[in-house]
């Protein structure tokens, strides 16, 4: 696989140099310098026009304006004039192993399906994905270990193993619901914390939601001891939430992060301030809720990028899912979603730690693709494209503690080459020319052919 990636890089270098009108020179070092592109570093700052990105052995060794970067002698030069380069995305909320084309079933939770999904994430420029609380057994840990040793490629997988809820009250999808530990007593809950901590999971997830009154909600009598026990074991807790009241109480109990915004009311200033003061990170998870405002299939269903990685039958099913939506329901959904956007803008203005969490990997919420639509919705809330990209790159990388998500010296060379600049329209993140992971170009053409 490494030889194939190296061949792809050499082919790209040769092709780009030939397009520039000159014969490629034989490389005399392992250094590759990408020059001429607009660089979006991922720190929320302005883009760097005509920048240079220097990579050696999968690591960024220098980056900046051409006048400030010295390209080592013998380096291979790749001309990216007219392109935009940005870090790959880091998503802290996905699910792997349940979707296989039209099938959404726990029988799909196999190594073959998961590794294929990691390729799909990578194809769309997602470099890291956290499978959040729905991974039974040790399959995800084995894949993660194989990626660390170079046996497997694709988006790097992190996992929260199995989360905790009340019995039969975990994930909303019945297919995923059995993956959650069901706790009825403090002793059971703490025992599950110990089991999760023993796996070296990246986070611990809890579900604090009654699913419209259909299940029993995990309450403070249990999530309080869960959070305390998790922190004693250096394990951070992410809560799936719906209600503002629960959010307030969870912040007071010491929760570390929220998967989803509050969805029953607009978040008030007091709650926003408490989130900021306690440094609780928040994943907006907008795209799942946004579907409710549409009485007809939205424009993203027809984007060419979607058709490159999913079957026509899946796209047809997505389109048909809007067939029976009434204008009244869409109007109610529009009002609810607008409330969420206002809450997000309040959090952003107050300086809350916002991170990408798109909840992909559930049925018809396409892995890799919907992360880009999530960015569009973040910008719709009134957040700048530069900050939206930071929310999707360096901010979640910092929370997860991975050495990526930023074009900076010493970071892994995980980056996208785009045909357009998302600073002028955030949807340009979907105009992907190339994906590089650890300095090696992903063979997207082969992946398209396979799918």
Which domains, from first to last, does the chain contain? Answer: 2-87+406-450 (2.30.40.10), 89-367 (3.20.20.140)
* Residue among 411, 415, 409, 410 nearest 434 (CA): 415
DSSP 13-77: HHHHHHHTTSPPPPP-SSEEEEEEEEE--SSSS--EEEEEEEEETTEEEEEEEGGG-PPPTT-EE
pLDDT recorded at residue 19: 44
Element at 205 (helix H, strand E): strand 204-207
pTM: 0.93
CB distance 176 to 106 below 8 Å: yes
Element at 6 (helix H, strand E): helix 2-19
pLDDT recorded at residue 2: 45
Backbone CA torsion sign across 301, 304, 306, 312: positive
Whole-angstrom distance, CA of residue 368 vs CA of residue 350: 29
Strand 84-87 relative to strand 76-79: parallel, antiparallel, unpaired?
unpaired
pLDDT recorded at residue 8: 46
Q: Count CA atoms within 13 Å of residue 119 on its CB side.
A: 20
pLDDT recorded at residue 5: 45
A 10 A CB-CB count for 78 gives 25
**3-class DSSP state of 85:** strand
Tens digits of pLDDT across the chain (451 residues): 444 444 444 444 444 444 445 555 565 699 999 999 999 999 999 999 999 999 999 999 999 999 999 999 999 999 999 999 999 999 999 999 999 999 999 999 999 999 999 999 999 999 999 999 999 999 999 999 999 999 999 999 999 999 999 999 999 999 999 999 999 999 999 999 999 999 999 999 999 999 999 999 999 999 999 999 999 999 999 999 999 999 999 999 999 999 999 999 999 999 999 999 999 999 999 999 999 999 999 999 999 999 999 999 999 999 999 998 999 999 999 999 999 999 999 999 999 999 999 999 999 999 999 999 999 999 999 999 999 999 999 999 999 999 999 999 999 999 999 999 999 999 999 999 999 999 999 999 999 999 9
pLDDT recorded at residue 26: 60
């Amino acid at each position: 696989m490494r030889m194939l990636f190296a061949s792809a890089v050499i082919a790209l270098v040769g092709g780009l140099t030939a397009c520039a009108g000159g014969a490629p020179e034989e490389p005399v070092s392992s250094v590759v310098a990408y020059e001429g592109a607009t660089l979006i570093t991922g720190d929320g700052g302005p883009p760097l026009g005509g920048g240079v990105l220097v990579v050696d052995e999968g690591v960024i060794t220098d980056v900046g304006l051409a006048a400030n970067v010295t390209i080592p002698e013998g380096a291979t030069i790749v001309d990216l004039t007219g392109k935009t380069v940005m870090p790959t995305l880091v998503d802290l909320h996905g699910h792997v192993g349940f979707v296989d084309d039209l099938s959404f079933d726990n029988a799909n939770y196999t190594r073959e399906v998961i590794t294929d999904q990691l390729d799909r994430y990578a194809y769309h420029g997602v470099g890291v994905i956290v499978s959040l609380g729905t991974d039974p057994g040790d399959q995800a840990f084995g894949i993660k270990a194989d990626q660390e040793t170079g046996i497997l490629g694709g988006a790097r997988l992190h996992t929260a193993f199995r989360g905790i809820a009340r019995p039969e009250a975990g994930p909303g999808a019945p297919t995923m619901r059995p993956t959650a530990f069901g706790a009825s007593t403090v002793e059971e809950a703490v025992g599950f914390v110990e089991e999760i901590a023993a796996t070296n999971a990246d986070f611990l997830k809890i579900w604090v939601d009654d699913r419209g009154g259909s299940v029993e909600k995990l309450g403070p009598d249990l999530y309080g001891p869960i959070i305390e026990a998790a922190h004693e074991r250096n394990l951070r807790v992410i809560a799936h939430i719906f209600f503002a009241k629960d959010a307030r109480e969870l912040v007071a109990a010491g929760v570390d992060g929220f998967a989803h915004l509050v969805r029953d009311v607009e978040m008030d200033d007091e709650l926003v301030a408490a989130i900021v003061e306690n440094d609780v990170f928040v994943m907006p998870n907008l795209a799942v809720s946004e579907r409710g405002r549409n009485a007809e299939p939205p424009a993203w269903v027809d984007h060419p990028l979607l058709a490159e990685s999913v079957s026509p039958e899946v796209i047809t099913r997505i389109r048909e899912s809007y067939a029976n939506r009434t204008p009244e329901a869409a109007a109610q959904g529009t009002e609810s979603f607008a409330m969420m956007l206002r809450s997000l803008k309040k959090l952003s203005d107050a300086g809350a730690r916002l991170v990408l969490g798109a909840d992909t990997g559930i049925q018809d919420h396409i892995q890799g693709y919907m992360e880009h639509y999530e960015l569009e919705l973040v910008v719709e809330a009134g957040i700048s494209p530069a900050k939206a990209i930071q929310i999707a790159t360096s901010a979640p990388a910092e929370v997860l503690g991975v050495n990526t998500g930023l074009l900076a010296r010493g970071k892994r060379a995980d980056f996208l080459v785009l045909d357009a600049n998302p600073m002028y329209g955030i949807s340009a993140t979907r105009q992907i020319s190339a994906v590089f992971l650890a300095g090696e170009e992903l063979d997207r053409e082969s992946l398209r052919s396979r799918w």
